[in-house]
């Protein structure tokens, strides 16, 4: 809440009406890198350097210049490991400039103590008053000395530091010395929390908010807390904390009155009470304040902020006998009604995004209200009403702005480790949470608070419950939960969980085949409201243009590295097309994510990750907008709020792909969470082709749309028989009289038999082998649809893009962020498509294997190009054509051969390709030699290995094929949980008997504890009968590749690699690569 002090303040001078001394400006300063300042009594010395406060020391040029040897707050071993990856190592330092690959590169790094010092002169008028020092937004711990006397220590990372200096400051000149320490010490909140880590805001050292001395009467109002307890008969509980610093008990009279200027305005009744305050004591006086029938409630639609003006008077002339205290609040009540989230009696759906403390030009949050107003207005323009502050709490100015704009905020303490492991940390959490709620709890925007993020240890459940019970004792209107993502306490008032994200095994939060689903089953299984944890995380290609917006001391040099990668790998010339295609695809995925949640009755809401790009953890371009809250060029706020809004038209249908002998059926719904019910509304729908021609239309209504519900308004049944050729159509739904309109692309294909190929016209092949090459050399036309296991590389065909960033999830076999296709190419004439991924591509991409085409000429471009991840941007292809020898070749590594009756998109793509190959237009302009093409495919032995390799057990997502895919980044792993004890086995089937000369073994590169130590190797003719171990030994536990040669190479078909123990004694084990050495 806002605590008013009126009138202007003067630098190091007193303003009598305000009774404050402004301490902003130049301070003397010194770094204490060796931590000797206390023992050497620097508080008694005259510090020599100069620094400006508010501000951070790093942005003013203090600290070390970062390098490969810098010790970061976040565990630096991960950065060093990334830097050693083959493609990163040459790029980390360029032209003498260090470029951090995991997060912003700051101009300076400093983690430790720093001393700030300033002289002040206390006026005579301040004698016999209470003198307070206020330091807003300190990072992190302060210790304070006045002259040579130590005052104390404070370490809130969320709330202002306030010191009572009444016993230290007398009229005259004094020296104030503040020691600020930004290290993680005995209070272990985890190095990943966004209030402390390097990943986003940076671990800055300084004070960035208001700095001032304040004089108050000895008897004064210290704090006023307000909590709305009834909105039907608007009533608030008001707790007055009254302080008597004098030596005598006093009787006081306190008058208070609330007023708002919102709308037509409203003034509540004036009230007065009396109280007796003992000498040297604080007392709390609780009052129930009836605001009045004409009171204006606060919510996202009517953000009415009240000012509560309080005046205190004493009945004695022995002490200063008057004090004024003003605070702000809103009449707003958020609560759970069973598992339904409600605000002021109305069902509430949170349309939220995360704020991970991303402030590119400063490294810390703005402290002025105007900056936050702009942020929240932008969020609202996207249809949002909520922001979650991941592992941090915004400053006072943010709450003030959110109060005015109408945004519901969730703050968090910085915790990102388990509870109950460290008594000092647990004790700190008791105080920190209470301070946070005390500082900001009056704000109507201060709606939710969590202890921390992803606190995994179940043993912390008792501690979580103790903390929440403690916080509930305070006077505030904030709903509380223990943990974000994992639930283990009983006191939580709502749940933020990832459970709702995984609707099926293939897609996060969306189902590409249809929209006929919601999360009701999950919601109904909970007895408290559920909010989805960090939904989305749909990545695009990086936004290189954002670099020109950086004007401060932080630099996105990782973007320079990724641009160099693309340039050196020959993909930078494709950047513009790839970037826009990945962005358009991302927008479809976010659209589907929001709609799935909005279709669900009773849902508490979604916290999307993210509306903006994330600059840390290796860089995750998952935002629809950039880190400056500005456009990335492929979606506007108006386009975004069509599928994420207060009132959103929705449609449930069984498929995005239809056959023309069926009727298109869809259920039309309206999700409405507005201020009031909508009565007598008509809903119109249209089905149009790409030229805007109407195929069908209709309307429903008039119908009433109650707020807080998802209302079914009618069902569409539209024949498609008039569509005789493959077509892209669009279903649109609009609420008449309003701007709310939503639409969905769909595809209609003729229901016909798969196109046939005559062998005298087109030769069909599924392997790049000698026979295929011979046909091309004869001048034949060949369609190569390679079996997935024959395509070289470890990149999985995938509709969905990579999760978050591959630097954090390097073992994933999904490497792409959608496709770019030349939709004007004649090969796609009968397959309508945009240039980017849309829903008709789902079945095709899930049944594909991208080809790595780096070996082809640099100016060669495939017809359909998967867009590779930016950390290793290879040239990829799914469909391409070329002259080869005397023949013509079309390669399609999408399955267009199998189950075509049930796969209409594959059937239609097959038709389009065959029609093109039969036509005179099939004249490939590029010639590719056989040697270059051969690099796109595995040799027959590897193909057989991929088909015939098994393991004794595998962890989900780490199957044994990842041990033979030729990539050091992926690995096979035995299960982590409920795992079989060692030994574990990998058996390779070579397909036929071979002379086996040895093996090569590559351990998992990033985890020494699961590397193989003791092992045995066996060979068998039939895979059933195994002789004694052919070879047994031990590895040294290093990350190097090992080559083992057999002294007497045996002949066999099956090879068994038996792992007996690990380097650490761990019962789970991993292998990056295992490959037999076969005699030529």
Least confident segment among 22-36, 306-320, 519-533: 306-320
Cis, bond preceding 610 (omega within 30 deg of 0): yes
Contact 997, 1072 (CB under 8 A): no
How high is the mean pLDDT of the chain?
93
Cα–Cα distance, 189 to 723 (Å, whole number): 61
For residue 979, the model assigns a pLDDT of 60
CA distances (Å), 55 to each of 136, 137, 366, 458, 861, in order?
A: 11, 10, 11, 40, 51
Q: Do 152 and 290 have their domain in common?
A: no
Given pLDDT bands bounded at 50, 70 and 90, which one contains residue 509? Answer: low
Q: Do 44 and 104 have their domain in common?
A: yes
Token pair 């950039």 is found at 626
Cα–Cα distance, 254 to 313 (Å, whole number): 7
For residue 82, the model assigns a pLDDT of 78
Contact 597, 606 (CB under 8 A): yes
Q: How far apart are the first and last CA of the chain?
A: 78
Domain end: 170, 190, 209, which one?
209
Cα–Cα distance, 266 to 268 (Å, whole number): 7
Domain extent for 547: 338-415+495-570+592-640
Contact 332, 343 (CB under 8 A): yes
For residue 502, the model assigns a pLDDT of 42
Residue 2 has pLDDT above 70, yes or no: no
488, two tokens = 């283990």
Q: Do 916 and 874 have their domain in common?
A: yes
For residue 10, the model assigns a pLDDT of 29
The stretch 252-260 carries a mean pLDDT of: 98
Q: State the virtual CA torsion across 312, 317, 319, 324 in degrees, nearest 10.
A: 20
| Helices H / strands E in the chain, number of each | 14, 62
Residue 420 has pLDDT above 90, yes or no: no
Q: Do 598 and 663 have their domain in common?
A: no
**pLDDT digits 0-9 by tens, 176-198:** 999 999 999 999 888 888 989 89
Those residues with Cβ within 8 angstroms of residue 234's Cβ, 6 or more apart along the chain or in another chain: 228, 290, 291, 292, 293, 295, 297, 331
Whats the size of the chain, residue-wise? 1080
The stretch 436-456 carries a mean pLDDT of: 93
Cα–Cα distance, 842 to 404 (Å, whole number): 44
Taking CB atoms within 8 Å and a gap of at least 24, the contacts of 456-459 are 456/418, 456/486, 457/418, 457/419, 457/420, 457/421, 458/488, 459/418, 459/420
CA distances (Å), 600 to each of 67, 345, 531, in order?
A: 50, 20, 12
Highest mean pLDDT among 512-516, 690-694, 946-950 belongs to: 690-694
DSSP one-letter string for 323-371: EEEEEEE----EEEETTEEEETTEE--EEEEEE----TTTSS---SHHH
708 in any annotated domain: yes
For residue 15, the model assigns a pLDDT of 37
Dihedral (CA of 769, 772, 776, 777) sign: positive
Cα–Cα distance, 875 to 136 (Å, whole number): 51
Residue 11 has pLDDT above 50, yes or no: no
803 in any annotated domain: yes
Domain end: 298, 329, 360, which one?
329
Contact 392, 366 (CB under 8 A): no
Given pLDDT bands bounded at 50, 70 and 90, which one contains residue 1? Answer: low
**pLDDT digits 0-9 by tens, 451-480:** 988 876 666 788 889 999 999 999 899 999
Cα–Cα distance, 788 to 799 (Å, whole number): 16
Positions of E strands within 23-103: 25-32, 49-53, 55-56, 93-94, 97-98
Share of the chain above pLDDT 90, in %: 81
Cα–Cα distance, 326 to 333 (Å, whole number): 21
Q: Do 630 and 658 have their domain in common?
A: no
**pLDDT digits 0-9 by tens, 117-168:** 999 999 999 999 999 999 999 999 999 999 999 999 999 999 999 999 999 9
The stretch 488-505 carries a mean pLDDT of: 69
Residue 648 has pLDDT above 90, yes or no: yes
For residue 555, the model assigns a pLDDT of 98
- CA-based nearest residue to 712, from 730, 733, 732: 733
Q: Do 827 and 844 have their domain in common?
A: yes
Helices (H), 834-990: 842-846, 904-918, 930-934, 940-948
For residue 7, the model assigns a pLDDT of 32
DSSP H or E run through 450: strand 446-453
CATH number at residue 247: 2.60.40.10
581 in any annotated domain: no
Q: Do 180 and 224 have their domain in common?
A: no
180 in any annotated domain: yes
Give the total number of structural domains in the chain: 6
DSSP one-letter string for 525-545: T-SS-EEEEEEE-B--S--GG
Contact 187, 155 (CB under 8 A): yes
**pLDDT digits 0-9 by tens, 330-388:** 999 999 999 999 999 999 999 999 999 999 999 999 999 999 999 999 999 999 999 99
Residue 718 has pLDDT above 90, yes or no: yes
Given pLDDT bands bounded at 50, 70 and 90, which one contains residue 12? Answer: very low
Cα–Cα distance, 564 to 90 (Å, whole number): 10
CB atoms near residue 238 (< 10 Å): 22
Q: Which residue has the higher pLDDT, 77 or 834?
A: 834
For residue 458, the model assigns a pLDDT of 62
**pLDDT digits 0-9 by tens, 803-852:** 888 888 877 888 999 999 999 999 999 999 999 999 999 999 999 999 99
756 in any annotated domain: no
b/e per residue 906-918 (b: at least 16 CB within 10 A): bbbbbbbbbbbbe
Cα–Cα distance, 875 to 891 (Å, whole number): 15
Burial (0-12, 13-18, 19+ Cβ within 10 Å), 694: exposed
DSSP one-letter string for 731-748: EEEEETTSS-EEEEEEEE
Given pLDDT bands bounded at 50, 70 and 90, which one contains residue 650? Answer: very high
7 in any annotated domain: no
Residue 710 pairs in a beta bridge with: 671
For residue 17, the model assigns a pLDDT of 38
DSSP H or E run through 396: helix 396-405
1051 in any annotated domain: yes
For residue 649, the model assigns a pLDDT of 99
Least confident segment among 426-430, 666-670, 953-957, 1036-1040: 953-957
Q: Do 656 and 733 have their domain in common?
A: yes
For residue 486, the model assigns a pLDDT of 67
- CA-based nearest residue to 649, from 694, 582, 599, 611: 599
Cα–Cα distance, 26 to 321 (Å, whole number): 36
Alpha-carbon Rg of the chain, whole angstroms?
A: 33
Task: For helices 396-405 and 423-440, give the axis angle rounded to 10 degrees.
Answer: 50
Token pair 């912003």 is found at 104
The stretch 732-742 carries a mean pLDDT of: 94
Contact 1044, 1017 (CB under 8 A): yes
For residue 505, the model assigns a pLDDT of 37
Q: Do 918 and 979 have their domain in common?
A: no
Q: Do 892 and 953 have their domain in common?
A: no
DSSP H or E run through 995: strand 984-1002
Residue 4 has pLDDT above 60, yes or no: no
Helices (H), 139-241: none
1000 in any annotated domain: yes
Least confident segment among 208-217, 502-511, 908-917: 502-511
Q: Do 353 and 255 have their domain in common?
A: no
For residue 14, the model assigns a pLDDT of 34
Would you give the DSSP letter of residue 843?
Answer: H
Residue 493 has pLDDT above 70, yes or no: yes
Cα–Cα distance, 790 to 849 (Å, whole number): 9
Contact 872, 852 (CB under 8 A): no
> What are the percentages of helix, strand and coil residues in the chain, rounded to 5?
20, 35, 45
Residue 1060 has pLDDT above 50, yes or no: yes
Cis, bond preceding 702 (omega within 30 deg of 0): yes
Cα–Cα distance, 118 to 130 (Å, whole number): 20
CATH number at residue 665: 2.60.40.1930
**pLDDT digits 0-9 by tens, 989-1040:** 998 899 999 999 999 988 899 999 999 999 999 999 998 999 999 999 999 9
Q: Do 792 and 844 have their domain in common?
A: yes
Residue 504 has pLDDT above 70, yes or no: no
Given pLDDT bands bounded at 50, 70 and 90, which one contains residue 320? Answer: low
């Amino acid at each position: 809440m806002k605590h008013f002090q009126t009138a202007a303040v003067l630098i190091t001078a007193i303003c009598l009406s305000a009774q404050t001394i402004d301490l902003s400006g130049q301070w003397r300063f010194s770094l204490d890198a060796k931590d000797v300042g206390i023992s050497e009594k620097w508080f008694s010395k005259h510090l020599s350097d100069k620094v400006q406060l508010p501000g951070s020391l790093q942005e003013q040029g203090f600290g070390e210049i970062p390098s490969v040897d810098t010790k970061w707050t976040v565990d630096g071993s991960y950065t060093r490991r990334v830097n050693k990856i083959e493609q990163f190592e040459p790029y980390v330092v360029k032209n003498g400039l260090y470029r951090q690959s995991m997060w912003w590169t700051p101009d300076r790094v400093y983690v430790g103590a720093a001393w700030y010092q300033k002289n002040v002169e206390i006026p005579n008028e301040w004698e016999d008053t209470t003198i307070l020092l206020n330091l807003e937004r300190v990072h992190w711990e302060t210790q304070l000395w006045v002259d040579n006397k130590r005052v104390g220590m404070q370490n809130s990372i969320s709330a202002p530091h306030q010191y009572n200096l009444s016993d230290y400051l007398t009229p005259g000149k004094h020296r104030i010395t503040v020691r600020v320490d930004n290290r993680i010490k005995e209070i272990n909140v985890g190095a990943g929390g966004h209030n402390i880590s390097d990943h986003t805001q940076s671990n800055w050292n300084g004070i960035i908010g208001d700095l001032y001395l304040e004089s108050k009467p000895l008897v004064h109002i210290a704090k006023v807390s307000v909590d709305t307890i009834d909105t039907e008969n608007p009533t608030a509980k008001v707790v007055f904390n009254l302080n008597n610093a004098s030596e005598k008990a006093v009787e006081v009279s306190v008058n208070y009155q609330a007023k708002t200027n919102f709308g037509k305005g409203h003034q509540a009744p004036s009230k007065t009470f009396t109280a007796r305050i003992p000498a040297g004591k604080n007392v709390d006086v609780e009052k129930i304040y009836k605001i009045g029938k004409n009171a204006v409630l606060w919510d996202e639609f009517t953000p009415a902020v009240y000012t509560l003006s309080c005046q205190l008077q004493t009945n004695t002339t022995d002490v200063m006998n008057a004090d004024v205290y003003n605070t702000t609040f809103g009449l707003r009540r958020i609560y759970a009604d069973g598992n339904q989230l409600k605000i002021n009696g109305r069902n509430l759906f949170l349309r939220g995004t995360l704020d991970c403390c991303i402030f590119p030009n400063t490294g810390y949050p703005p402290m002025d209200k105007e900056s936050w107003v702009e942020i929240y207005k932008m969020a609202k323009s996207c249809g949002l009403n909520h922001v979650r502050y991941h592992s941090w709490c915004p400053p006072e100015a943010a709450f003030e702005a959110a109060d005015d704009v109408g945004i519901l905020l969730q703050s968090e303490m910085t915790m990102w480790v388990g509870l109950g492991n460290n008594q000092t940390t647990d004790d700190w959490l008791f105080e920190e949470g209470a301070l946070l709620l005390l500082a900001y709890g009056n704000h109507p925007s201060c709606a939710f608070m969590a202890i921390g993020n992803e606190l995994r240890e179940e043993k912390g459940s008792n501690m979580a419950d103790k903390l929440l019970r403690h916080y509930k004792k305070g006077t505030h209107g904030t709903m509380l939960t223990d943990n974000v993502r994992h639930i283990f306490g009983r006191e939580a008032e709502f749940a933020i969980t990832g459970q709702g994200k995984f609707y099926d095994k293939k897609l996060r939060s969306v189902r590409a085949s249809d929209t006929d689903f919601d999360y009701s089953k999950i919601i109904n299984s909970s007895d408290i409201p559920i909010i989805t944890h960090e939904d989305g995380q749909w990545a695009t290609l990086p936004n290189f243009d954002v670099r020109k917006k950086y004007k401060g001391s932080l630099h996105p040099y990782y973007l320079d590295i990724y641009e160099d990668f693309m340039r050196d790998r020959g993909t930078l010339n494709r950047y513009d097309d790839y970037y826009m295609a990945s962005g358009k695809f991302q927008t479809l995925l976010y659209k589907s994510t929001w709609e799935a949640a909005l279709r669900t009755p009773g849902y508490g809401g979604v916290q999307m990750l993210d509306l903006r790009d994330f600059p840390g953890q290796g860089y995750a371009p998952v935002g629809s907008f950039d880190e400056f809250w500005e456009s990335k060029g492929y979606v506007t706020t108006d386009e975004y709020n069509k599928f994420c809004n207060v009132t959103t038209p929705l449609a449930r249908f069984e498929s995005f792909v239809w056959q023309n002998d069926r009727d298109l059926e869809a259920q039309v719904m309206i999700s409405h969470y507005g201020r009031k019910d909508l009565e007598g509304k008509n809903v119109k729908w249209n089905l149009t082709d790409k030229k805007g021609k109407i195929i069908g239309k209709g309307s429903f209504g008039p119908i009433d749309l109650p707020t807080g519900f998802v209302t079914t308004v009618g069902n569409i049944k539209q024949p498609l028989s008039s569509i005789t050729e493959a077509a892209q159509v669009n279903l649109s739904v609009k609420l008449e009289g309003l701007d709310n309109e939503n639409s969905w692309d769909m595809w209609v294909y003729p229901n016909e038999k798969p196109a046939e190929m005559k062998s005298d016209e087109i030769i069909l092949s599924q392997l790049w082998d000698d026979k295929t090459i011979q046909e091309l050399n004869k001048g034949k036309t060949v369609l190569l649809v390679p079996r997935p296991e024959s395509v070289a590389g470890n990149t999985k065909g995938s509709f969905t893009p990579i999760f978050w960033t591959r630097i954090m999830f390097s073992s994933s076999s999904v490497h792409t962020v959608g496709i770019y296709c030349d939709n004007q190419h004649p090969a796609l004439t009968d397959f309508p498509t945009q240039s980017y991924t849309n829903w008709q591509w789902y079945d095709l991409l899930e049944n594909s294997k991208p080809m790595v085409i780096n070996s082809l000429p640099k100016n060669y471009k495939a017809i359909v190009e998967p867009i590779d991840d930016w950390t290793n941007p290879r040239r990829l292809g799914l469909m391409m054509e070329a002259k080869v020898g005397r023949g013509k070749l079309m390669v399609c590594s999408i399955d267009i051969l199998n189950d075509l009756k049930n796969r209409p998109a594959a059937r239609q793509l097959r038709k389009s390709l065959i029609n093109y190959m039969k036509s005179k237009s099939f004249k490939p302009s590029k010639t590719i030699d056989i040697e270059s093409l051969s690099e796109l495919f595995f040799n027959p032995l590897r193909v057989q290995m991929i088909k015939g390799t098994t393991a004794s057990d595998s962890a989900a997502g780490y199957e044994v094929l990842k041990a033979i895919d030729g990539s050091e980044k992926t690995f096979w792993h035995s299960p982590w949980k409920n795992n079989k004890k060692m030994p574990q086995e990998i058996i390779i089937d070579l397909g036929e008997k071979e002379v086996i000369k040895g093996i090569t073994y590559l351990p998992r590169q990033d985890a020494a504890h699961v590397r193989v130590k003791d092992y045995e190797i066996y060979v068998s003719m039939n895979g059933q009968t195994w002789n004694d171990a052919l070879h047994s030994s031990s590895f040294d536990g290093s990350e190097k590749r090992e080559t083992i040669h057999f002294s007497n190479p045996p002949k066999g078909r099956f090879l068994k690699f038996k792992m007996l123990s690990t380097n650490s004694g761990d019962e789970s084990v991993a292998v990056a690569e295992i490959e037999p050495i076969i005699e030529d």
